[in-house]
Structure 1
């Protein structure tokens, strides 16, 4: 019953954010002119944009397949692609992408993969995924000052916040993994403090769950220490995966027959949006992503800014949502078939 209420709540929240986003972006705009500009875009560049989204989803499936092999679990790549699709679908529709990994663990369990193994693998995926974003975010601030002044002056507070939140997240996960005793003390003191302030009721069940979660971090630390080469490869694949998704906007740039801005400027601008919204409690960064695009891409897409945003966001987020939804349905049908057959 609680799970059904959560699903309904997430759906209502998603639809509400989507509705507000549509109103905020399109209110007062000339929709006929926008649609005409979109129709003029060269589809020969948009199709490769969809292919880049598939590469993005496929990239995580390669990581899962690769790490499973390090545990002696040999799965077909297409099965790992279903795991990846499930993760992206539920991440797209839940606040702060909180629903992705629990659902991946659920479907992995149906494939007889032990929960401790799937949890450690997905923990490593999360850490490397955030780490790559932090490296890109800090790299822009430290080594691309001209780029920052040229494009980001109007959104620097949001960007600084995004970088700060991601750095904090990666740092905290690193402490949890490599200093579990210290992390446990911090979490227990934090829990005591919240209980004293009566934000939380004192429950032993909550403390027991904390003990169980700390075991996951200990196992993750052991894996990282024993598989350094694997982790390096995972980080490299994650970089390619991220760049593939950011490059979707360059395909849109080409579809409008534009020139004068380098592919790397466009890729980095899209990375800025991802860094800024990644930690915000909105499904897929909905609303804020569109607003940031309209601010920082204004000099890149003169005359077709709104159509470019619609195509870029449509390919980068909404096509990702539809593709992952399709393969999540396939994963569900596969699971139901296996249950009937087994």
Structure 2
């Protein structure tokens, strides 16, 4: 709990610290006036797009999970999705979401090996669709980068794009090659042998090998399910384009109406690619910097700081708020069940 709180404070400190420093010369009264005059319906539309983003992700998780555990409900899939969103936002490189989701899938009765394969397939599909759709945006929107004097940022965006491609290739290799996966897992297990007895280490290794067998069995089976892959790819593509379009809702809401929607979508796609390189939770600092550089080309300073704050709230802080609420509800439910058991 303390580590979660520390990471949340770190994220907020970096974000607000950057905004406060970058826009220290802006009149706060002007920004406040812009916020009061904002069109609430457009902003609610942006929040609605974010909710649909979560919902579509939970539907993808539910569709893949149903291949292994048909008893898992859509509601459970949504809770698992929001838990993943929460831990992704507060951990470096969004590394905490999958372990949290695996834990919850296991709690719902799914084998760890099968659960790992579900999350791997889902992650590969998401990353693949992100790269494919971002590549499409990059082809038609790279000229927007060239119009601004930000060549260093364009290089970082290309690096981010390349790293995402490398991640996909690496994950597919792990999912397809049992030898590679076994080598990685056994290498990670070796240090454990120094701290436990040999018989316990052998038993642990045997259990891990069983989970690896389950993992590869499910991964192989689902990777050949063309209907599953097409359905989830389409849902993920819709999910991503809704996310790409959120700044458009924000800018419409603050009155910046005479803008090219594809340029806005392209900028947001570039921001996602760039911020994926930042090791700080949520890409804090990097996300704000790239947003400022790109949207600073088409917005005045007062509108820029306002749109930056609203965009960050909708796409990022909302994940922390709703994700933590979901986790608290589960914890309260668990505590109630424990109390009932003790009473009996």
Give the TM-score normalised by structure 2.
0.84
Q: How does 1:1-342 map to 2 (within 5 A)?
A: 8-9=2-3, 11-27=5-21, 28=24, 29-71=26-68, 73-150=70-147, 153-154=150-151, 155-182=153-180, 187=184, 204=193, 208=205, 214-215=212-213, 218-303=216-301, 304-337=303-336
User: 1:205 and 1:10 mapped to 2: Cα distance?
Assistant: 30
SS of alignment partner, residue 79 of structure 1: helix
User: 2:226 and 2:90 mapped to 1: Cα distance?
Assistant: 33
Cα 1:319–1:15, aligned 2, differ >3 Å: closer, same or farther? same
Deviation per CA, 1:277-321: give whole Å up to 9, x if none.
225322111111011000001133234111111111111111222
The answer for unaligned runs of 5 or more in structure 1 is: 1-6, 193-199
**Residues 177 and 220 of structure 1 are in contact (CA less than 8 Å); yes or no, is this contact kept in structure 2?**
no
Deviation per CA, 1:230-274: give whole Å up to 9, x if none.
011111111111222222111111112223323222122111111
**Residues 114 and 214 of structure 2 are in contact (CA less than 8 Å); yes or no, is this contact kept in structure 1?**
no
Question: Which shifted more, 323-332 or 288-297?
Answer: 323-332
Cα 1:160–1:41, aligned 2, differ >3 Å: closer, same or farther? same
Deviation per CA, 1:44-94: give whole Å up to 9, x if none.
111111111111111121112212222351332222111111111111111
**Residues 180 and 217 of structure 1 are in contact (CA less than 8 Å); yes or no, is this contact kept in structure 2?**
no
Deviation at 1:341, TM superposition (A): 6.2
User: 1:217 and 1:139 mapped to 2: Cα distance?
Assistant: 33
User: 2:126 and 2:278 mapped to 1: Cα distance?
Assistant: 16
Question: Which shifted more, 40-49 or 109-118?
Answer: 109-118
Cα 1:188–1:313, aligned 2, differ >3 Å: closer, same or farther? closer
User: 1:109 and 1:339 mapped to 2: Cα distance?
Assistant: 19
User: 1:329 and 1:284 mapped to 2: Cα distance?
Assistant: 21
Deviation at 1:120, TM superposition (A): 1.5
Cα 1:83–1:290, aligned 2, differ >3 Å: closer, same or farther? same
User: 1:225 and 1:129 mapped to 2: Cα distance?
Assistant: 14
Give the TM-score normalised by structure 1.
0.84
User: 1:195: which partner in 2?
Assistant: none
- The alignment yields a C-alpha RMSD, in angstroms, of 2.9
SS of alignment partner, residue 18 of structure 1: helix
Deviation at 1:14, TM superposition (A): 4.0
**Residues 301 and 308 of structure 1 are in contact (CA less than 8 Å); yes or no, is this contact kept in structure 2?**
no
**Residues 140 and 148 of structure 1 are in contact (CA less than 8 Å); yes or no, is this contact kept in structure 2?**
no
User: 1:4: which partner in 2?
Assistant: none
Cα 1:331–1:151, aligned 2, differ >3 Å: closer, same or farther? farther
**Residues 15 and 285 of structure 2 are in contact (CA less than 8 Å); yes or no, is this contact kept in structure 1?**
yes
SS of alignment partner, residue 300 of structure 2: coil
Deviation at 1:180, TM superposition (A): 3.2
User: 2:20 and 2:298 mapped to 1: Cα distance?
Assistant: 20
User: 1:35 and 1:220 mapped to 2: Cα distance?
Assistant: 53
**Residues 84 and 101 of structure 2 are in contact (CA less than 8 Å); yes or no, is this contact kept in structure 1?**
yes
**Residues 85 and 323 of structure 2 are in contact (CA less than 8 Å); yes or no, is this contact kept in structure 1?**
yes
